[in-house]
A and B are shown apart, each in its own frame.
Chain A
């Protein structure tokens, strides 16, 4: 195995709920609750989970776009949460983010050249003509034309805008990219284009991705490892093949049973989850998943399961793994 480029240790992000006359903290929304994993250099970790489970919050917390509540994130040898302002600014050259919504992620008052080239100015890498050339070549790499530099975001389609967002993220030549549902607001045909572009770029620049998505087939396509998140916690993490062929956590099983299979004779046993996702402000006792789990036992309602390794890097957080 290669060495991990990003390593999370017990990362937590709570959003305080304020109430009462003096707006005291009356509770916490545990959006990200005690998450640890690592991503190897040059590979893609797919992070899946339903909406509201804290995927995006985790992605933003890793980049310290949100202030973490607790835990540590190491990028190479740097402890990101402990770095000072200047140092963090320098680190930002190596870690970038691609956003979900290509409409709100581009400043409507700046033209494409300014959007993509701004980071070069911020870090004092290139100005004027040199900046222009870099921007143009980056646009070409991302499948746009150099003359698009002078146009404004509103003149582009959703897919093109997402390409602009990717170009912006790549201009600084980063090593690690958080892709926060980069394809979920695009048409299916465009989704494929963007994913292919991301794969090409990964090969070309040796990028490492944290690919956040709720599209299980797309994650299967692009990822090397997959982590499944439920209510702020990782419930299962493993190599892609292993996870899709041998899902161990009941939640993962339910998710995978919902993925359509292109085979008319395929008789899938669809596991239907009952109930709603509990509020992250008031998670259930014991295992987070127990109110909706078809296998839940007394044990599950009282004691919280730990993420355990069940062999060859396949980690599951379930008391009943052995019975599965």
Chain B
């Protein structure tokens, strides 16, 4: 009961604030509306803050980390967490706290780069298919169908095995296998935007095709693309972890959250040395969760019709 009342009070004060905000600044751009809606979504804000903290920690890893990333000290191997080694040490005696910090750099940047790569591929192909239609559309959509038809993880593992494990190959594989959704979204958006009269108006003023696509169509199509890009970033982090865990992704001594987990393949480690796998596993969980929360918040803010 008490809770409900507090929630109500919080809600009313929140809406009051947003009203005042509108008065202070009288020009309401589409960007401002989106930001206002996003701000109201508390869960999404929590997600963004967590994500931001993770990113800052990853960027500042060299400053924060108490030890050298790859410093092996065999005398202190497999030690449980202590004041000296916050997360304990691994089988080579390397400080796990340090490695988890550095691992965040790799995991998050694999997610970011892979997601950006799929976005670029998906947007370009989606633009071509949606704008030109006809046979270009047919070819691109059949290619998309083919890529979707492959079992994702099996193909990713096979490709990683053939190309050889490395950070860049991991980014490339994930990017090349996840662009299909973006492509379909952009194509669908373009098909409907093409019918709008402002596109005809742009044509009537003599705008070039590039200008029409870049200035009039893409800005109106980017909302679902951005949403799916965040969700794909979460997927990419998971896939990177899976590949690295299997030894097909990022290779030691470079740490990633996935390959720090690798020792957990042994039953002894899994049962007796929780500090070897719990911190990286938890960080993967937290980062994927917060990215998904941000994605959901973006979806609600960018396209209120999709809510519920």
Contact = CB atoms under 8 A, between A and B. Distances in A.
Given A89-B206, A92-B206, A172-B205, A152 B198 contact: no
A90 B206 CA distance: 8
Interface stretch (A33-41, A94-102, A208-216, A295-303): A94-102
B200 A65 contact: yes
Nearest to A155: B28
Contacts of A97: 200-201, 204
B204 to A, nearest CB: 5
Contacts of A108: 30, 220
Contacts of B208: 122
Contact of A107 (B27, B28, B203, B220): B220
B207 interface: yes
Nearest to A165: B201
A123 B198 contact: no
B154 to A, nearest CB: 34
A95 B201 CA distance: 11
Given A109-B30, A150-B27, A118 B205 contact: yes
Contacts of A154: 28, 30
A99 B30 contact: no
Interface string A77-98: 0000000000011101101110
B197 A119 contact: no
Contact of B204 (A65, A90, A110): A65
Given A107-B220, A108-B30, A99 B206 contact: no
B37 interface: no
A104 B29 contact: no
A106 B198 CA distance: 5
A151 B197 CA distance: 20
B216 interface: yes
A253 B220 CA distance: 46
Interface in A111-127: 111, 115, 118-119, 122-123
Contact of A99 (B27, B200, B211): B200
B219 A104 contact: no
A154 B31 CA distance: 13
Interface string A41-73: 000000000000000000010010100000000
B206 A123 contact: yes
Size category of the binding interface on chain B? 20 to 34
Contact of A65 (B27, B198, B203, B207): B203
Contacts of A99: 197, 200-201
B28 A152 contact: yes
Q: Of B203, B205, B215, which is in contact with the most chain A CB atoms at under 10 Å from its CB?
A: B205
Interface string A167-187: 010001000000000000000
A7 to B, nearest CB: 20
Given A101-B197, A109-B30, A151-B27, A118 B204 contact: no
A122 B211 contact: yes
A63 B201 CA distance: 11
Given A107-B216, A111-B29, A152-B29, A96 B204 contact: yes
A99 B201 CA distance: 8
A279 interface: no
Contacts of A168: 201, 205
Interface in B145-196: 196
Nearest to B29: A152
A123 B200 CA distance: 17
A118 B202 contact: yes
Contacts of B201: 97, 99, 105, 165, 168
Contact of B206 (A100, A115, A122, A151): A122
B219 to A, nearest CB: 4
B207 A122 contact: yes
Nearest to A180: B197
Interface of A: 60, 63, 65, 88-90, 92-93, 95-97, 99-101, 104-111, 115, 118-119, 122-123, 150-152, 154-155, 165, 168, 172
11 contacts: A65-B200, A90-B206, A96-B204, A105-B201, A109-B219, A122-B207, A150-B27, A151-B27, A152-B28, A152-B30, A168-B201
Nearest 8 A-B pairs (CB), nearest first? A92-B206, A105-B197, A119-B205, A89-B206, A109-B219, A107-B198, A99-B197, A104-B197
Interface of B: 27-30, 196-198, 200-208, 211, 215-216, 219-220
